Amino acid sequence: MTRRTLLFSAAVLGAGTLAACSTAQKPGGPPTGTSRASGSGGRFGVGDYNTQEVADELRYIQKHVRPLAEKDTKRILVTGSTGGLGQLTAARLLARGHRVVAHARNDRRAADVRRDLPGLESVVTGDLANLDETRRLAARVNRLGAFDVIVHNAGEYGVANEEILNVNSLSPYLLTSLVVPPRQSLYLTSDLHLGGDLKLGELRGGGTDVTYDDSKLQVLTLAMAVARRRPGLQVNAVAPGWVPTKMGFANGPYAPDDLRAGYATQLWLAEGTDRASTGSGGFFFHREPEDDVHASVGDPREQDALLDAYARRTGVTLR
């Protein structure tokens, strides 16, 4: 884990080369040389919202993955499923025969994911950078009825700290608190959480000085707090590794970890295929328990302090 952290940190510090796949472009921003009318980018948004590697993996899934028996299927919501790991997770779950609801930041990206992933049950929209939109998204999700699994996957990197805070931390908290709890929840975090701080003072005081690493520590601690507060439900967190998505290429076209392994843990947990994937309160990397964890994550006092800070910040208390 430390090796990966060092690699990612080195690339961040050495940032300068921009990826060949337009990674400097703001997700959802104007495309380079493509028409907006028919959606974003080329097939699967290569050069816009996806890398070639993600597009190749989406093709692999559509060609090779076969469905489960219907009795084994579930109803699953994946946030941030218009690109990267979220889209791969949604695509693979769909190919396995699950009923999948995708989430997009706006109507244009909803049109993109409907085109990319035929067979979705539906697509809900809401820009997680705007917390009022996140609240409306929670209401929309509740109107769709109960889910077996929600994957809190959406994330931002390399944008302003306020957006990082809202998308990576406050929105998962609000969705967790306002959506009828599913039987299982998964939260995407990162090994970079190790360099983070819970920033409770910022949260309580209305500040926005929260880095990506801080946000990933917050969401990992949130996951463990929810697992403790909701003992009848299954709640886990996943670090996917540094993989070649648009985010993974944010500082240049290099990512050392395996893309398929980057979403395999989410599928394994969502499907609950063996005993090891049916527990709660776990933090996994490539389907193995990850023990390189920040000290705050497993500390009930820190977890409660975080929940208290979230409640003060948002006016919403987790039940």
Ligand X SMILES: NC(=O)c1ccc[n+]([C@@H]2O[C@H](COP(=O)([O-])OP(=O)(O)OC[C@H]3O[C@@H](n4cnc5c(N)ncnc54)[C@H](OP(=O)(O)O)[C@@H]3O)[C@@H](O)[C@H]2O)c1
Catalytic residues: 212, 216
Q: At residue 42, what is the residue type?
A: G
Report DSSP state, residue 275: G
Work out which of 95, 110, 255, 269 binds ligand X, going by CB under 6 A: 255
**Pairing label, strands 282-285, 288-289:** antiparallel
Return the range that interacts with ligand X (CB under 6 A); candidates 31-39, 123-131, 195-203, 227-235: 123-131
Options 14-22, 63-71, 236-244, 286-294: segment touching ligand X (CB under 6 A) = 236-244
Interface with ligand X includes 153 (CB under 6 A)? yes
Neighbours of 145 (CB within 10 A): 9
Of 128 and 165, nearer to ligand X (C-beta) is 128
The answer to whether 284 contacts ligand X (rule: CB under 6 A) is: no
Could you say whether residue 248 binds ligand X (CB under 6 A)? yes
Any residues with CB less than 8 A from the CB of 86 and at least 6 apart, and which?
Answer: 78, 79, 80, 103, 151, 153, 154
Pairing of strands 122-125, 234-239: unpaired
Cα dihedral sign, 247-252-254-255: negative
| Alpha carbon separation from 179 to 61, 107, 152, 207 (Å, rounded) | 30, 21, 12, 25
Closer CB to ligand X, 49 or 284, in the complex: 49
- Asked if 211 interacts with ligand X (CB under 6 A), we say no
Contact call for residue 128 and ligand X (CB under 6 A):
yes
How open is the CA angle 164-168-172, to the nearest 5 degrees? 145
Q: Residue 103: how many CA atoms within 13 Å on its side-chain side?
A: 26
- Beta bridge partners, 99, equal 75
Contact with ligand X (CB under 6 A): which of 170, 188, 237, 305?
188
Counting contacts by CB under 6 A, is residue 100 touching ligand X?
A: no
280 is an interface residue for ligand X by CB under 6 A: no
Interaction mask 43-82, ligand X, x per CB under 6 A: ------x------------------------------xxx
Residues contributing to the site for ligand X (CB under 6 A): 27-28, 49, 80-86, 105, 109, 127-129, 153-156, 167, 188, 190, 240, 242-243, 245-248, 255
